[in-house]
Amino acid sequence: MQITLHVATMGNNNDLLGLHTVVAVNNMKALNLKLLGLNFIFSTITLVESNGNYSSWYYKNWCGGTLQYLDDSLCAKIFPDLDVDTYSNFICEASIMDQEPPSTSGFQLNGPLKDIEIDINSLDSVVADEDVNLCVILTRRVSKSESSSGELIYNKYLCASNRSSSDAYETWSSSKIFAMANAAGHLRTNESSESCSGDYSGLFGLDSSITGKKGKTMLGDLSTVICSYDHTAGYTSNSLSSYFHDLGWRDRINYLLRDWLGAAEGQTLGGNYGEATPSDLSFALLSSSTSTSTAMEASQGTCPADKDPWPTVYSNTLSALAAAEMARRIAQHREMPPTMRFPGAEWLDMQAILYGSREQSLFFPGQLWGGMAADTAIFMQTALQSLTLKDSEPVLDGSSWRILSKLGAGYSTSRLRGEIVTTVYACIPRRLRSDGSSLPGLELTLSARGSVLHDTSLRTVEKKLLDAVSKAVQYIYDNY
């Protein structure tokens, strides 16, 4: 049994210090509040019994770093209730409508980024801090039986001025998820070996395994290492991201950024994140144990993947708009028109990025919330939980919500600036206010970057980024 305590703490000036979630596994003696140093005026504690210990790796090994909202120093992250049979095939039902939104609403059908109208005014006064770039993509789903997915997707794009929609900045580690998606597309469609192409094309992706110093290694487990910064498996997030670039090819992702996404000039992807690929990891992919296809059996289940032969390294620079749109296409892969899906990739690959290897995990047995679900950044969670205090009903409750994110952070010695990036997809279900009135659900994708001069500790930029995300979320709730 897992017991979760939700603790709301306030400071002397009645400012919210945070909503902290602490987990005690098996018995209350294991409880460690980790709230030393906070000045309590009151705390509200609620006990919730979880439906299984599916997040124990997170609380034992991944949270508890230096910064409260970037590293989850208080281990405050919470996870949805989990239905093992359906959770990784989750479809957001927060914003399903019977009728198309009016043309005056600003919501537009799924389309190429270059054709999308961007609202750069509505958030400009909300997120006025020049040290922050932030874009939000709001999604509305309209039921349409004639659509292949049964729904049409409409989106509204809001950016805090041109600096957010157009200005490119260093992504730090937040763009690693795009390296994984690119690797999936290359593996399934661009390999040269007869064991991977022709009749066998499309059979090998991020649901496959390789071999390494720990023996059989699931690519989905490497996704979890990248997103959680796990240290128990003996790999680093940075070196594994270089490995996925070796699988996906750096030229390919940089080309797709322009040709497929339609990003503006000055934006590039294909950087190595500062570390070389681990020398023990093989490039021979083994078939997924879940596959029963005749073609897979004929290929003997092995694909010698092509390693990037000309590893030209590009800088990782994106606008908040481009980062949010790429992340949205990962989370909403099934609902995307084929031309807007990550080229060559399949939903199985997106599941590995979003959730890791799940039940097939070899590195993290029992940790079903892997991949982007295991990111330690809790900017979005904290912003949403502040709404809970105001409306008295929990925003993040039950199994019908998701927060899937990827952080990036560092101090630039060339720019002399401390920077944090968060890119996050969120689904927030409909809920009731304490007075019985209804709040609509929300489905959104947000990307934000904070950059502060001489902030070597990242504490000032963390505060600025939390403030910006919280203000943007509050604006969205108030107006949509």
Q: Which residue has the higher pLDDT, 70 or 40?
A: 70
Q: Are 99 and 132 in contact (CB under 8 A)?
A: no
Query: How do 2-10 and 43-49 pair as beta strands?
Result: antiparallel
Q: Could you give the CA distance from residue 17 to residue 169 in angstroms, rounded to a whole number?
A: 30
Query: How do 442-453 and 132-143 pair as beta strands?
Result: antiparallel
**Cβ neighbours, 10 Å, residue 391:** 16
Give me the pLDDT at residue 323, please: 98
- Mean pLDDT across 249-253: 96
Q: Highest-confidence range of 5-9, 110-114, 393-397, by mean pLDDT?
A: 110-114
What are 126-147's pLDDT values in tens digits?
999 999 999 999 999 998 755 5
Q: Could you give the CA distance from residue 31 to residue 36 in angstroms, rounded to a whole number?
A: 14
What are 276-333's pLDDT values in tens digits?
999 999 999 997 744 444 444 444 578 999 999 988 889 999 999 999 999 999 999 9
Burial class from Cβ neighbours inside 10 Å (0-12, 13-18, 19+) for residue 397 reads: middle
Q: DSSP string covering 325-354, please? A: HHHHHHHTGGGS-GGGSPTT--HHHHHHHH
